[in-house]
A and B are shown apart, each in its own frame.
Chain A
């Protein structure tokens, strides 16, 4: 029971992420693959996602430590474990959470089969949290500065953001030539909650001084932006549930974005794909509250002036005045994390002998091997992942994809995905980091996706 709860905690509710959907990408028997590449080579007549069940995905990642490192029930003092985690991670270690739930989705082929245009649309809810390890802040809280004379604490170590939003999208893809499919998807974002503190800088240091006992300087340029929280933290009156629903349906802070993608066949058995997702921004103007902490202060302690005799000096107030904590209500803009995917695939094995039902994809070949690259923008250096995969179609209605992924969370991430279409019902389940399932508490990242769709195969493909 515990592991199920854990799995749920890890993968659904908290899910830390890298957002890489390496198994879903280019798995074209699953309609949701259109969300990872609007130029996917899909071949259904139409599809409709079963509302709330068509796309459930969660992704948890923590590059520096695992749940086991912190919460193992091993009798070791919790604070000792916290120290271990803090001192064994670097400021570039990250924790990331991504969860998506498709509310509705559908797609329909436009025109006759020669035109080969496809329209897809839907709405999904997404939760994104991304934080770097605020290492120097953690050291200050754990140890203070007594054992760190000379160390320059980096205020920029704090870099975190999070968002709960809903996304409405409509995409169009078209066979430009026999060999080339192009696709684009427009998106409207409605942000329910946002916090963002990713452009902090500054330092704090203490070194032995000459005139004063220490030379001690704080210089800070820190800003935390929030939107969507005010109705709950202040002047709370409304019903939270209805308020969140309102914000989910265009009532939140709005933004715009797009995805672009392509599939290209230089040869019949060689496929190249690429997509760029979530090039977009959200303009936060409602329920905005920001906290800024900017300034410079050199602390010399009390500095009496014996000439005046009553100088009324106030070093603490001087400090508060030099680096004031200001509350602002100014608009701000956040950029969505941009994702880039690309793949190259070689197919082999004649699939036509196997009485193919061709659920979507062309079944000229049974097997494919390929490689994928995934890049996502973050507040610092982009996250990258490299995947090798093997894809195979079984029997009439099954497509399987096995992946091996290397990224900053893991270098032995094996994933497996399965899409079955029985009658018109498509069911898919994809999970990665399977090796970690032998003890998921020690996993640095986990992700899974599953869903149900109703698919009407393309009448124009051979049956």
Chain B
């Protein structure tokens, strides 16, 4: 049996190995992804993001319990940051989801962000496809919501949940123009803490000021939760279901969603491939370092350096 067939039949080892090969950019993995593509598009993808420690993994753990009770199978991708200094990472999201590790209907995979040359976004996106193709009803992607990469990932989700906690105060202000804009559902976790009402109000104000964006019929709900005690999980899942119905209720809207998703995915994929092939290539060949040296010595300007690299690389045709 080929790898693609093993994946679609739900073979855990094949799935695990394929995700690793995708992450390591093993050339064969791309071919398998091509074969798998016709089997994708069935899973419902939920993105969960928020600052470190707000309770993302704990909420995912509770959601798993509810979804499994409802007979749904779930794949989880838990993304943790790579250390910018050593390149290593500690992937600790599984700790909160331990009790599901023996459940055959749940597949949990940790992934590291691996630097900033576009690695994370593309491998996570491909890993979503793999879990989709293996037949999971839901794929939940959990990311640390601190950067552009994370926004990109949640944009390839059908429903994006932003988790906040009371007392973030000015952090919310700072986040306003970033990750908060992509939320379909807001959850104020640890809602027993002081200031929960204020946080709810802050978010409500933010959403209401942005009314134009929500005119098409989906105004993000703001829910409170205490994920540790499983308070609010059911309501969150209900809202996901409502959002799903909203997306699928009109054929026009659904095709626009699919179109936007495809547009985003393809653009990211092209960027990733170019970055990978041009940037990594010149880094390996030492050309990158040479140019940097020239720029630092002010013998060349970075604009010219960039134009030269890009035009010669792209004209000669990438492999």
Q: Does A pair with B?
A: no
